[in-house]
Structure 1
């Protein structure tokens, strides 16, 4: 392997090291082997994460997704829905394991205020990033965040790659998706089983990432089980590929 070629962190131990550094910063980095520290530094530099991270945080600083979710649940009598959000750097480290590229059409099913969609579009050279959100208040907030990104120098072209759809992801057409992200914490029973069948029948989908629990599928194979920091703590994450 050429030394000047970046190799993204692919192992469980390296991803854990990333999460430790991202979560606990200066203190934790001394517990990470020097070799991995260098890989982390090169990874962050290659993806320009020191540039993207503060911009990402700034555009979401004025929106409270948890509050909007609480209001939405009361209005819709949807008590079973539990809201949670990604953390920028841990989520990017998770996506790095599947190497999104110019052919990738990323979908976040249950996209909230749009954090996962916007993070993916900011960092990776994807074809398109789409979020599907049930609640109108959260859906509107995601478009507002995209508008804030559009006026920042260097990010204007990213808006063309981003779209948000308001509705139930079981009813929305996802036939162009290649990479799907699902926070599966609250999906159970018929809803979860129906979603799995939907994913299996959508032949364009090559990769599915879930948090909390894996897919039980005869079509997708789980190729990696790791963990990722989310807004409510560190959770299990599972990467599935279609053979």
Structure 2
């Protein structure tokens, strides 16, 4: 996240507006396929978002994320400096491609550990990501978003606990695109 704040989020650079991404407190972080919630809490420790949130389809993992959110929301103020802005943590059980379940179109920074996502799921996520505002950052693992509305700013192989994974940092280059506008578009 530090690289996004210092390089890709700078106001007026890349597809950023005059405020940039992560240049001041606030904003929203979403994790699509949030598992136990650890990436969202890590994001909360690294930037004073207004909200860190995720959506997970597996009940057991979602249950663990609910426990983690409860601990975070009840004790983070004891763990962080007194003047720290503490993001609220929320996790939803459901399908990350169902915006009725969790509408993440207001996100500034979206993350998906997409290593195990198939092509059809990546396409559904990319279609929903078209709703994001211009300048939003989307980080994926192993696979980039198959979308003409995102530019890959950087990709690099990192060693993870399970092995190597390519991390893609992508930025939305267009204003929000409605679902009807994306029909028939060729994905890159």
Q: TM-score, normalised by structure 1?
A: 0.56
Q: After superposition, give the CA deviation of every residue in 1:116-159 in whole Å (9 maximum; x if it has no partner).
A: 00111122121211111111211111121233343362349877
Q: Using the alignment, how far apart are the partners of 1:147 and 1:206 within structure 2?
A: 28
Q: Using the alignment, how far apart are the partners of 1:193 and 1:201 within structure 2?
A: 14
Query: Residue 180 of structure 1 contacts residue 205 of structure 1 at CA under 8 Å; is this kept in 2?
Result: no
Q: Using the alignment, how far apart are the partners of 2:96 and 2:62 within structure 1?
A: 13
Q: Using the alignment, how far apart are the partners of 1:227 and 1:104 within structure 2?
A: 27
What's 2:119 paired with?
189
Is 1:111 the counterpart of 2:34? The answer is yes
What's 2:157 paired with?
227
Query: Residue 134 of structure 2 contacts residue 172 of structure 2 at CA under 8 Å; is this kept in 1?
Result: no
Kindly state the Cα deviation for residue 199 of structure 1 after the two structures are TM-superposed: 0.4
Q: 1:166 aligns with which of 85, 93, 108?
A: 93
- Answer 1 or 2: which has greater helix percent: 1
Q: TM-score, normalised by structure 2?
A: 0.70
Bigger Cα Rg: 1
Alignment gaps of 5+ in structure 2: 6-21, 174-188
Q: Using the alignment, how far apart are the partners of 1:211 and 1:187 within structure 2?
A: 10
**1:202 alignment partner, SS class:** coil
Aligned length: 149
Is 1:154 the counterpart of 2:79? The answer is yes
Alignment gaps of 5+ in structure 1: 1-94
